[in-house]
Amino acid sequence: MDLAWEDWQANHARAANLLKRAADGGADLALLPEMFATGFSMDGAKIAQPPGGPTERWLQAMARGLGLHVIAGLAETGVPGGLPVNNALLVTPDGDVSRYTKLHPFSMAKEDEHYAAGSKVVTWEVAGARVTPQICYDLRFPEPFRLAAGETDAFVVIANWPERRRAHWQTLLRARAIENLCYVLGVNRVGEDGGGNAHAGDSAAISPWGETLVSASGVETVLLVDVYPAQVKDARAKLPALADRRPDRYRR
């Protein structure tokens, strides 16, 4: 998705078309990028919406109307008097909403000065699959992925990852799939943000064996892929690397 800078109404209109295309393609779950409603802006005071705000209500209406689960990124207000948070929302066709807060604010962009860090990894069940969300910079840290791996069929990474580091994005998506023997679904924006940063997209679905199942770059589009929890179980039975971990020894 190409994001209009700090313009949630324009982004709702853009996302509506993409979500309809996903639903028409038979999707159970649709993914939108990090901070899809505004772009990756550090002006949290301007763009952060309260829980239950206009974008959450819009997502609920879209999920109900299309019969979709939706995972979407959104800047939201945090605890009273505290910094806003960079969240991933899971919205169900029944209108239920769950949240994950980005564990690792991107310090190079001073995100840590404008948004509070999350405190826990979460896993959701969506249409029979166990799904664990991560947000952009979280991809560089294998620890939360490994923590959730045993209870996860697919990691979802929503992002505003810049084009100049696209090789890192592509490689780390595959690495997280290979090392955890599960699907990794990466959804990144395209276009240029308000700071002049270009984004190539490179959205992709990676199999438990590290194979790229679908991918796209440079254009706004919809990718469709099937996720089979049984294939995760099968991969882990054939290569029981997770069972051979020795966490008691992973200390200095």
In the chain, the amino acid numbered 95 is G
Asked if 102 is an active-site residue, the reply is yes
Tokens of 42: 């550090």
Residue with tokens 């995760």: 232
Tokens of 67: 């019969």
C-alpha–C-alpha distance, residues 53 and 36, integer Å: 15
Asked if 233 is an active-site residue, the reply is no
Tokens of 56: 């959450």
- Among 56, 76, 111, 136, the active-site one is 136
CB neighbour list of residue 210: distance below 8 Å, 6 or more residues apart: 174, 177, 178
Tokens of 124: 């959701």
Residue 73 contacts residue 88 (beta carbons within 8 Å): yes
C-alpha–C-alpha distance, residues 42 and 102, integer Å: 14
- Among 56, 76, 102, 182, the active-site one is 102
- Among 6, 34, 56, 111, the active-site one is 34
Asked if 34 is an active-site residue, the reply is yes
Complete DSSP assignment for 188-247: E-EEE-TTS-EEE--EEEE-TTS-EEEEE-SS---------HHHHHHHHHHS-TGGG--G
Catalytic residue annotation: 34, 102, 136
